[in-house]
């Protein structure tokens, strides 16, 4: 900027040194304010850190003492596997495989049914929660708040309440998963809807479609691959979540795992956890494959 002005000849009196000096001065000032802000944020961070260390009883001696204990605990859960009697040891370790597999199936089913129910509820709520699809701000506001409520109350709290209302067992867990899933998926679906291409929507409207028709023919076809992608992602999360819900008595292998941890049945803990990890791993891979195929198909359709 300054070179432009000087080339016009209006500011030719400023010498090179003066300009350089003023530039240096401004640079120093900018650097100073920047450093001051960084320092301030750093101080805030340190203050928060110190406060949380005090509040949460965190102490280095505690850590030094606790970590070996935690490690001993983890090491204690590992089974003794010998090479001579490998399969016998393996069978000993997984002595209850038949029951556990049944419970594992229950956990997966809980995740599946919960995801489907939550997905349906999310689909019902996502259209009124999209700003570009509803004119009535009251409906939009109500739908948004409902989704927010569903998603912010922890799944486990819903599970606690539902266990109280519907009795112990996987049914309460499925409902808790469904409500939570509806909240988080509904928000994501609404975001997809808001990014939807308005032309098909206007097209359906112009040819006389009513609101449900616009949603069904204008919005859903372009948003469906993304919906399914998020649904699959959520399914994987929910299978993991279902394993935790067992802790409050909502069924599945989590309940069994909880009993094992409480009663210090060491090798059972590692056996069940390994099963859980493997299951989520396999589901993760399957869902990812399907997702990539879906998104790929979508891309080729657009091209």
Partner 1 sequence: MTIARHADIAGLKQTNPEIFARPLSERLRDGGLWAAFLVVFVFGLWWIDASPMRIVNGLSKLGMLVGLMIPPWPGDGLWDYCLAMLETLAMAFLGTAIAAVVALPLGFLGAKNMVPNWLFHFGLRRFFDAFRGVDGLVWALIFVSAVGLGPFAGVLAIAVGDMMVLGKLFAEAIENVDKKPVEGVRASGGGGLHVMRLGVLPQVFPVMISHVLYFFESNVRSATILGIVGAGGVGLQLSDRMRINNWQEAAFIILLILFTVSVIDNLSRRIRAKLV
Q: Does 287 bind partner 1 (CB under 8 A)?
A: no
x/- contact string, 70-99, with partner 1 (CB under 8 A)? x-xxx-------------------------
Cβ 62 to partner 1, closest distance in Å? 6
Q: Does 30 bind partner 1 (CB under 8 A)?
A: no
Tokens of 38: 């960084």
Residue 299's SS3 state is helix
For the chain, counts of helices (H) and of strands (E): 13, 0
x/- contact string, 157-186, with partner 1 (CB under 8 A)? x--xxx-xxxx-xxx-xx------------
Q: Does 204 bind partner 1 (CB under 8 A)?
A: no
Instruction: Enumerate residues 6+ apart whose C-beta is below 8 A from 96.
Output: 268, 271
Measuring CA to CA, which residue among 151, 153, 215, 141 is closest to residue 182? 151
Measuring CA to CA, which residue among 277, 278, 268 is closest to residue 76? 268
Do 238 and 107 meet the contact criterion of CB atoms below 8 Å apart? Answer: no
Which of 110, 147, 179, 182 touches partner 1 by CB under 8 A? 110
Q: Does 243 bind partner 1 (CB under 8 A)?
A: yes
Q: Which region, judged by CB under 8 A, interacts with partner 1, from 2-10, 14-22, 81-89, 152-160?
A: 152-160
Tokens of 51: 């406060």
Do 245 and 155 meet the contact criterion of CB atoms below 8 Å apart? Answer: yes
- Judged by the rule CB under 8 A, the positions of this chain that interact with partner 1 are 48-49, 51-59, 62, 65-66, 69-70, 72-74, 106, 109-110, 112-113, 116, 148-149, 152-154, 156-157, 160-162, 164-167, 169-171, 173-174, 240-241, 243-244, 247-248, 251, 254, 257-258, 261, 264, 269, 273, 276-281, 284
């Amino acid at each position: 900027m300054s070179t432009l002005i000087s080339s016009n000849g209006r500011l030719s009196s400023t010498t090179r040194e003066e300009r350089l000096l003023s530039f240096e001065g401004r640079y120093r000032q900018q650097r100073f304010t920047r450093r001051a802000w960084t320092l301030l944020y750093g101080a805030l961070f340190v203050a928060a850190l110190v406060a949380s260390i005090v509040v949460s009883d965190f102490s280095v001696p505690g850590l030094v003492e606790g970590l070996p204990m935690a490690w001993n605990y983890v090491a204690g859960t590992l089974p003794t596997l010998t090479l001579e009697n490998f399969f016998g040891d393996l069978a000993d370790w997984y002595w209850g495989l038949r029951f556990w597999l049944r419970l594992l199936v229950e956990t997966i089913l809980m995740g599946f049914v919960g995801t489907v129910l939550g997905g349906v509820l999310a689909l019902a709520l996502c259209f009124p929660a999209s700003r570009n699809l509803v004119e009535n701000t009251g409906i939009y506001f109500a739908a948004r708040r409902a989704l927010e409520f569903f998603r912010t109350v922890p799944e486990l709290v819903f599970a606690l309440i539902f266990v109280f209302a519907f009795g112990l067992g996987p049914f309460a867990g499925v409902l808790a998963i469904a409500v939570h899933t509806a909240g988080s998926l509904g928000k994501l679906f609404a975001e997809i809807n808001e990014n939807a291409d308005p032309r098909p929507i206007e097209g359906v409207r112009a040819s006389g479609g009513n609101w449900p028709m616009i949603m069904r023919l204008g919005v859903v076809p372009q948003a469906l691959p993304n919906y399914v992608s998020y649904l699959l992602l959520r399914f994987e999360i929910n299978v993991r979540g279902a394993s935790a819900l067992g802790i409050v008595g909502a069924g599945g292998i989590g309940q069994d795992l909880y009993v094992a941890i409480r009663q210090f049945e060491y090798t059972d803990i590692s056996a069940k956890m390994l099963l859980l990890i493997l299951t989520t791993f396999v589901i993760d891979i399957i869902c990812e494959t399907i997702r990539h195929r879906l998104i790929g198909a979508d891309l080729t359709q657009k091209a």
